Amino acid sequence: MTELPQRSVLEGQRLVPLAAPANPAQTEALRAGLLAGGLPIVEIGLRNTYAATALAELAAAGDLIVGAGTVLDGAQAEAAIDAGAAFLVTPGFADDIVAVAQRRGVPIVPGVATATEVLRARQAGLRSVKLFPANALGGLKLIDALSAAFTDMTFMPSGGVSQATLVEHLSHPAVAAVSGSWLTSAALLDQGADAVAAAVRASVELAATVGT
């Protein structure tokens, strides 16, 4: 099966902040904070009733790479792409969501928790997966084991990654990116764009030290 163009919008993006804005003020704080902090990408988790609106508004603004996260079925995937999502992220592997992404030509990073799910993703033509919930599953120890078997797969751990463990994760040769909400939590969004920018800038600077 032909591989999806996963790296078309994700190329070089090693930090993928996950946010679920619940209102217009949080959405604007997210957008302004990410831009000021130097991180032009965001995964909008479809975890509340406003998140889809936030995704559409951020995508329409055109100054961020906006993806949809916590996508749970094919219909939701279709709606997210129609709203402007440039990539999809799922908490687990689902054939119908992958099929939508393939048909629409949108990169997808499906969630995996086992070797079986990594193999299913690979057989679907994908080469990058999200390990979720990473810390609960063993984190980098599990990535060590999986990457030894799946040498052409890369991983985006999500769930428990923090600024304190960022460098350790990004230094792993099989980790393409990390995902997390420590950069864009609801508490930070409520504090405003400056708070988001400070958190983002600190993590961007740490990420830049990896491999230098």
Share of the chain above pLDDT 90, in %: 92
pLDDT of residue 12: 86
Task: Note if 141 is an active site residue.
Answer: no
Tens digits of per-residue pLDDT, 26-36? 999 999 999 99
Strand partners, 89: 109
Among the listed residues 43, 78, 141, 168, the single catalytic one is 43
Model confidence band, residue 8 (pLDDT cutoffs 50, 70, 90): low
Q: What is the pLDDT of residue 20?
A: 97
Q: Active-site residue among 130, 141, 168, 205?
A: 130
The class level of CATH for 13-208 reads alpha beta
Determine the Cα–Cα distance for residues 89 and 98; give it in Å rounded to an integer: 10
Contact in structure between 168 and 140 (CB atoms under 8 Å): yes
